[in-house]
Amino acid sequence: MPRSGTATDREGQNLRASARRASQQLKIPGSPAELSEQTASNASRTKELEAQVASLNGTLKDKMATEQRLCGRDNWIWRGGVRDVTITCERAREDSSSYRETSKIDTYEKQLAVLRAEGQTLAEKKNRAADTYQPLLQRTIDTKTRERAADLDTDGILTRAHGLKEVAGSDGFALFLTVVLHLLLLGFDALPVLAKFMSGSTMYDTLLGARFEASRRLHAEELQVRHECARMEQGVQRHHVELDTGDRMQALEHRYRVAQAERTADERAELDARMERLLRTRRV
């Protein structure tokens, strides 16, 4: 059955009131709304880090499985008169060890443990916030009310206002005089503003406007200079990074070629050893 317009308006008012209460709660540390926001942020970061750790663990598990398979007894060879693992096994071991260090999986697991502990702490605080927040909110409201009342009473405004209210409530003529006096006071207070609106702009106003325009223009030019300097500095940094990256790439390529040549020589020696053993076996 469709809802009536009154019920819909009431629900909308309730939603707006809830939003206002939530924004007010955030002004007091330890409020349920603030704890809920912190809990949601912690849960989001924990979920992202869990996915990252799971991905790294999966890759590391695959590399370690490959290492175990290549380093098994079935793949051992004779080298120097003893059985030893192959070069492929050594590469797999280096690959898994290097991945464990470069992926920083241990660091991420420690960070994940810290986030989980923080999540448990926030959950406990949130469970206790319902009992502790209401007295704290009421205490804050009472304190602000007393401070405001004390400020007004110091100037005598609050005392005179109470007196006028009591007199006006007891006598109709006094009430009429109170209203007239208030209107006169408002009129006198508004006279300088009305006079300013009715008069034209003075030389002071013109100079003030010109000064404001000059300050705005100087500020805009200063911002433009800052942006240009930042852009040039960024370009210089990018150029330095490109040069450094090129040098590193050349060094890596050189080390890679040397390592590849060494691996090729080792593999050739291993193949020659195997061929020699096969020939020896056939001769026997």
Of the pLDDT bands very low, low, confident and very high (cuts 50, 70, 90), residue 2 is: very low
Whether residue 19 has pLDDT greater than 50: no
Q: Which residue has the higher pLDDT, 227 or 123?
A: 227
121 in the same domain as 39: yes
Count of structural domains within the chain: 2
235 in the same domain as 135: no
147 in the same domain as 27: yes
Q: Which domain holds residue 2?
A: 1-154
- Element (H or E) spanning 86, and its range? none
49 is a domain residue: yes
Q: Which residue has the higher pLDDT, 260 or 159?
A: 260
Whether residue 202 has pLDDT greater than 60: yes
179 is a domain residue: no
pLDDT of residue 23: 46
- Of 120, 154, 188, which marks where a domain is finished? 154
250 is a domain residue: yes
What is the average per-residue pLDDT within 129-144?
73
pLDDT of residue 130: 65
pLDDT of residue 225: 94
- Of 97, 124, 154, which marks where a domain is finished? 154
109 in the same domain as 23: yes
126: number of Cβ within 10 Å: 16
174 is a domain residue: no
pTM exceeds 0.75? no
30 is a domain residue: yes
25 in the same domain as 124: yes
187 is a domain residue: no
User: What's the CA angle centered on 134, arms 28 and 35, to 5 degrees?
Assistant: 50
270 in the same domain as 139: no
28-32, 186-190, 263-267: range with highest mean pLDDT: 263-267
Whether residue 96 has pLDDT greater than 50: yes
Instruction: Decide: residue 59, CB within 10 A, 0-12 exposed, 13-18 middle, 19+ buried.
Output: middle
- Of 137, 154, 171, which marks where a domain is finished? 154
What phi, psi does 28 have (nearest 5°)? -110, 125
51 in the same domain as 148: yes
Q: Where are the alpha helices (DSSP H) in the chain?
A: 5-25, 32-70, 87-102, 105-154, 157-170, 172-198, 203-283
